[in-house]
Amino acid sequence: MRWFVTGSEGQLGSALRQRLSAAGESFFGKDLELDVADAGAVRRELERLPGGPPDLLVNAAALTHVDRCEAEPELARRINAEAPAGLARLCGELGVRFVHISTDYVFDGEARAPYPVDAEARPTSVYGETKWQGERDVRALAPDALIVRTSWVFGRGRNFVAAVLAQADQVARAGKGQLRVVDDQRGRPTYALDLAEAIRLLVDAGHTGVFHVANDGEATWWDVARAALDHAGHAEVPIERIGTPSLSLPAPRPSYSVLDLSKAREAGVPMRPWQQALRAYLESADSPLDRAA
């Protein structure tokens, strides 16, 4: 199968390249150099591929900086809502299967049990609202699309785990200080390589509709930070537990965004515990750890 991925240099895009190449699939992609909201530009890109348009397009492009979305709502709407609609319409015209990546931020965080795929979406931020609008438009324009919601992704490039480890290195070198990490948000961390493999399995099986995909288990950001530091040899670096309100962030965060994985499990998608996935990431070639130290 010939795959085309928007956002190809991001965490998921990079992971898809690795997984698909290992599986012998053909991978094509573009990152920031392609305006995903310009349907004409995307059409030209797809039509000039060797062999013409691909068999499948994965939209992994998004404006995911939630606070920037609050400051630039029109940009967020263009990338997170208008672009997916245009891509869905274009894929229908070209006969290309469409996979769209969405987020746990479509939920308000008021639940206290994992959100099933058919739970009511009630986003509380510009990011969540624009991603939800994108989902709705994709469903209307491409009923046979596969929509994958995920959460708390880490992998190659910039991410929470890499940022925490960089801060821990500074504290360790200084010999004093501590980190401060929120402990009142609960979700499912997700390794980008595991997410990419899950998407490949769902596509190979011909699944459509909405699926929740994340690593198994629940955690707070403090839990993830503590596990990362302990594995990285920074067990001595203390982490203060803080509440989200103390950060005075522009965008609200869902306090509970644990996704129900039962539909994906029934489809045969294995997702290992997040602790195992985190260790695999920290021991991989994409790890932010300085192996020369």
Query: Catalytic residue positions?
Result: 127
Q: What's the rounded Cα separation, in Å, for the pair 275 and 244?
A: 23
| Cβ(191)–Cβ(215) below 8 Å | yes
Closest CA to 142 of 201, 83, 97: 97
CA distances from 96 to 3, 54, 166, 195 (A): 10, 7, 41, 21
Radius of gyration (Cα) for the chain, nearest Å? Answer: 19
Among 30, 10, 279, which Cα is nearest to 158's? 10
Place of tokens 């203390």: 238
